[in-house]
Structures are given as structure tokens and as C-alpha cells.
Amino acid sequence: MEGFGFQVEVKRTDRKKSASIALVGTLVKISVPKGLTDSLIRDLIIKRSPWIKKKLREQSLRPTFKPKKYVNGETVHYLGEDYCLQVVAGDQASIQIVDRYLVVTVLHCEKDEEQRVRLLLEGWYQGQAFLKLKERTESFTKIIGVTPKSVKVKNYKSRWGSCSISGEITYNWRIVLAPHRVIDYVVVHELCHLLEHNHSARYWRHVEQYAPDWKICRKWLRHHQQMLGIGN
């Protein structure tokens, strides 16, 4: 559809009972019930245009991040801090933080050094994420008064965490790149689902009680999602 000042793609589906709008880059994707007329779709777009334009404007202001190359001198992130990546050759693969450097040691015989650095880093991040998130989860369970069934980390591509109806909490390991207060917000967000398994106003009151700056943290995540490897 044309004439709105932004690109619109309409998808009709039998499974939709109501319309939904999602932004994919600068493309506005709208899913609607199959029987909805073009006229009603246009009315919907016009009605939601202020919201759409606001989101497109926010998206245009987000910083852009180049894909990592995993080479010497590149900036990498951990717990909200920037470190200079230093790749060295050695007899045993390892990762350690030395002052403002994150030092990755790869074996002398590595053929694809950049790929090996990426795999080592991701493995290290996942291990650090589990330790950090388990510790923060245990701390907040005592404050909130809930008990999750389990705590795990996964390689999510489009979410920061999840809480199953049975109480299993899973976090995205990439959140370990974010500042401490943002990590705490994600932990509180998931634990509060053990009180309210929804996103109702009552649920958000629980979140605000234990993470008063949750709106700032959520905004930070949206602003830095590309840096953290999360898609729109």
C-alpha cells in the first residue's frame, strides 16, 4: 500500500482475528484477517500512523553497529563496560580480563583465528552469564518471595528471557553484555511472571516495586539491541 510516507506490506491470513503491526527495519508489516477490506486497512494505518512514525523515528536514532570481526583492537562489551580485544597465540586456549583488555588466547595452529575467537568468546560469555544470572536470580527470589523451578541460559535471537508456566526461567546469555542495572531489570521481569504470568497493569506494578527504573532499562535494551545481537 502507498501514500502513507512509509513502506507498508499487508499480509492477509486466516489465523488472524485482529490486526497486528510490526516494524522490520523501515518496513511496516501489517497482518490482518483475510476478509478485511482495503478501505478498513487504510483506516487502520491512518489511525496508527502517529505510533508508526514515532517508532520509525526512534529506530532511526538508534546507533548502528558494525558486525564484529573478532580481531585485535576491536571493542567488545561485558557488564556494560567496553574492553579492547587482544588476541594472542599460546599453548592453551583461554580468556581473561587484564585491565581494560579482554585477552583471548588461541592455539598457535589455528587456521581460522577469527572464527575460533568468536566461538571462544561466546562460550565464555555464556558461562559468565549463567554465573551472573543465577546469582542475581537467587538474590531477587529472596526479595520478591518466589522460587523458580530452574534457571538456564540460551542463545535467543529475539528475546531477553522467558518464564514458563511451570516456573522454568531462561535468560538470553547476551544480556551479560549489558550494565548491571539492566541485567537486574531482566531478572526482575522474569521473576515477576511467577506472581503474574502476563503483562497486565498489576504485573508491571510488581516490576516497578523491585526495579523502579525499569522503563529506563527497557529503553536501553531497545536502543542497544543491535549491539547485543538481538533482531528488531
Predicted local distance difference test score (pLDDT) of residue 63: 64
Predicted local distance difference test score (pLDDT) of residue 162: 95
The verdict on 207 and 105 lying in the same domain is yes
The verdict on 199 and 114 lying in the same domain is yes
Which residues make beta-bridge pairs with 125?
none
The verdict on 93 and 186 lying in the same domain is yes
Predicted local distance difference test score (pLDDT) of residue 232: 37
pLDDT in tens, 144-183: 999 999 999 999 888 999 999 999 999 999 999 999 999 9
Q: How far is CA 92 from the centre of its chain?
A: 32
Q: Name 204's Cβ contacts closer than 8 Å, sequence gap at least 6.
A: 214
Q: What residue numbers bound the domain in which 35 lies?
A: 7-61
Closest CA to 228 of 68, 61, 24, 27: 68
Predicted TM-score (pTM) of this structure: 0.74
The verdict on 97 and 29 lying in the same domain is no
Closest CA to 204 of 37, 196, 72, 132: 196
| Contact criterion met (CB below 8 Å) for 182 and 165 | no
Low-confidence residues of the chain, pLDDT below 50? 231-232
Domain C-terminal end among 19, 38, 61 = 61
Predicted local distance difference test score (pLDDT) of residue 191: 98
